[in-house]
Structure 1
């Protein structure tokens, strides 16, 4: 190294979960975005109870619009978590169920939902306390 060398020497490379030194998420973020969004969690939790028709899902998931439910089940179907079955009736009957992959994650998603219910009051209190102490905060 020369006397005029002023660059900071980097420490050991930080490895991502896939063992790469560069910033690569190996699809983890994409999967978590899907199974971690509010509507997907609620659809998976409901389908973990068994096969449901579209309207049954919509009635069971409070606040979801028809369009959002359609988008959510399509995304879950695309990801291989939900199977959509159309029966040749008039009008067509459609039902949804979890695939084997969907079933394999359902206990984790259900645990997250259960944890959310169990801790919602404590989180709400923490938010109110924080907001009272930081009235100009932009997080809300």
Structure 2
């Protein structure tokens, strides 16, 4: 039972279709809001929009960052001036979560290959 609850807690942290993309972009280092938005969309464009049907918007990024801040996965900093740039970076827990996701991503790739090979064999049969 404790494992099930823990998995549900992690899934709650990861909800939202852009969460992992934002975390992964922040893994490259601290980013200003507009640079982060551009980075996420550039990566999606580069891979052919296979993960998301349309670009990340500023509003969705704002909501995603606020939720991640609430879970202490992302830090927000500015120098206090209302016209200053705002920077975002992963916290220790945010970096730790990304490290924990790598084995899950590896499992997903392997599962996809297995599914494709099974589907490929099944479709070639009469």
Give the TM-score band, short-chain normalised.
Answer: 0.5 to 0.7
| Uncovered stretches (5+) of structure 2, i.e. residues with no partner | 42-54, 121-126
Q: Which structure has more helix as a fraction of its residues?
A: 2
Structure 1 runs of 4+ aligned residues shifted over 4 Å read 110-116
Cα distance, 1:102–1:45 mapped onto 2, change above 3 Å: same
- Alpha-carbon distance in structure 1 between the residues aligned to 2:7 and 2:97: 14
Count of aligned residue pairs for this structure pair: 107
Unaligned runs of 5+ in 1: 1-15, 19-24, 130-140
RMSD: 3.1
Asked whether the 8 Å contact 2:77–2:86 carries over to 1, the reply is yes
Are residue 17 (structure 1) and residue 9 (structure 2) matched? no
Q: CA deviation at 1:114?
A: 7.0
Contact 1:45/1:109 (8 A) holds in 2: no
RCO higher in structure (CA 8 A, sep ≥6): 2
Q: Does 1:47 align with 2:15?
A: no
1:87, distance to aligned residue in structure 2 (A): 1.6
Higher mean alpha-carbon deviation, 48-57 vs 80-89, is at: 80-89
TM-score (norm 1): 0.60
